[in-house]
């Protein structure tokens, strides 16, 4: 029963291979004392440890990007003006996306982390799981997204360097950059409802994969996210209405490949 509560139960299978996790928290959450009845019950001790490991996996992923798993994680600044990605993405979308949506994930994540660090009540800890996944994922995903994008003339749309490890890996794993972009758009277009398409490094297999995630499910475990495309309607609907395909076609004009190259080189180092 408790296994179903683990965050990593959301693991999907791709090409018959599970997206494995290390199953080990990258950071240690503050230890909490257990009630005597819990200490006396080995099964409960395992349950508590498992639940805390599960909760800590998202907290660890947050820490890796935000620098801290404690509350008061700030909303990161956008590295360009709200209108800098026009005409591909309107200023209105960017302002709402950053100040309302991302800000909301940060606020709710901080609330969840405050609770996580202030209680040893196991049912309360368990109840935090959906909020940590959704809001922690929302914060992680958007923090990557903002740097994955750049204005035209400031890196946006400039293709990866010819001799870069990233381009060589893309050509090896997808045939060509154009083929990769086409496959990525197909994956993003096929997401039902809200979600993300990602170019990610599968560290176990040392290869690049295109993966999708529903809602704000974060890319954790054996994958390192490199490039994300947000297909939540809040990312495009005000401008593109129901034409997600047009949004996906245009987004490549502002993809910041230098950032993707940097992420890839750090991931394989």
**Where does this chain bind Fe ion (CB under 5 A)?**
230, 232, 235
Nearest residue (CB) to Fe ion, 42 versus 193: 193
CA 83 to mean position of chain CA atoms: 24
- Minimum separation from the CB atom of position 149 to Fe ion (A): 12
Distance of closest approach, residue 152 Cβ to Fe ion, in angstroms = 21
Judged by beta carbon, residue 44 or residue 131, the one nearer Fe ion is: 131
Q: What is the smallest separation between the CB atom of 52 and Fe ion, expressed in angstroms? A: 29
Q: How far is the CB of 16 from Fe ion (least distance, A)?
A: 31
Q: How far is the CB of 146 from Fe ion (least distance, A)?
A: 10
- Token code pair at residue 168: 């060589």
Residue nearest to Fe ion (CB): 230
We find the least distance from the C-beta atom of residue 148 to Fe ion, in angstroms, to be 12
- DSSP secondary structure letters along the chain: -GGGGSGGGG--EETTEE-----S-SSPPPP----HHHHT-HHHHHHHHHHHHHHHHHHHHHHHHHS-SSS-PPPPPPSS-TTTTTTTS-HHHHHHIIIIIIHHHHHHHHHHHHHHTT---HHHHHHTHHHIIIIIHHHHHHHHHHHHB--BTTTBTPPPPTT-HHHHHHHHHHSSHHHHHHHHHHHHHT--SSEEEEEEEETTTTEEEEEEEETT----TTEEEEEEEE-SGGGTHHHHTT-HHHHHHHHGGGBBHHHHHHHHHHHH-
Cβ distance to Fe ion smaller for residue 142 or 263: 142
Nearer to Fe ion, 232 or 240 (CB): 232
**Nearer residue to Fe ion within complex by CB, 116 or 220:** 220
Residue 121 C-beta: closest distance to Fe ion, Å: 32
Rank residues 8 and 89 by Cβ distance to Fe ion and give the closer one: 89
Burial code (b: 16+ CB inside 10 Å, e: under 16) for 190-217 equals ebeeebbbbbbbbeeeeebbbbbbeebb
DSSP β-bridge partners for residue 212: 197
* Closest to Fe ion by CB, 19 or 230: 230
């Amino acid at each position: 029963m408790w296994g179903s509560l683990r965050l990593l139960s959301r693991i999907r299978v791709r090409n018959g291979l599970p997206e494995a996790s290390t199953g080990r928290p990258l950071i240690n959450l503050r230890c909490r004392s257990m009630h005597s009845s819990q200490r006396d019950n080995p099964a409960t001790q395992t349950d508590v440890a498992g639940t805390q490991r599960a909760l800590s996996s998202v907290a660890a992923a947050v820490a890796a990007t935000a620098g801290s798993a404690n509350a008061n994680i700030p909303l990161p600044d956008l590295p360009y003006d709200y209108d800098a990605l026009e005409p591909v993405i309107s200023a209105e979308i960017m302002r709402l996306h950053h100040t309302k949506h991302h800000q909301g994930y940060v606020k709710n994540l901080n609330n969840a982390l405050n609770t996580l660090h202030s209680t040893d009540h196991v049912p309360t800890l368990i109840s935090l799981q959906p909020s940590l996944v959704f809001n922690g994922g929302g914060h992680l995903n958007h923090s990557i997204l903002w740097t994955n994008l750049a204005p035209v003339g400031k890196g946006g749309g400039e293709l990866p360097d010819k001799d870069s490890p990233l381009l060589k890996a893309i050509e090896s794993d997808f045939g060509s950059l154009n083929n990769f972009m086409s496959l990525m758009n197909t994956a993003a277009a096929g997401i039902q409802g809200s979600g993300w398409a990602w170019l990610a490094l599968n560290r176990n297999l040392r290869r690049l994969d295109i993966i999708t995630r529903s809602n704000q499910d974060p890319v954790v475990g054996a994958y390192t996210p490199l490039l994300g495309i947000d297909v939540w309607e809040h990312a495009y609907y005000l401008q593109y209405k129901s034409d997600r395909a047009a949004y996906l076609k245009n987004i490549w004009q502002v993809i910041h490949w230098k950032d993707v190259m940097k992420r890839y080189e750090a991931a394989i180092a």
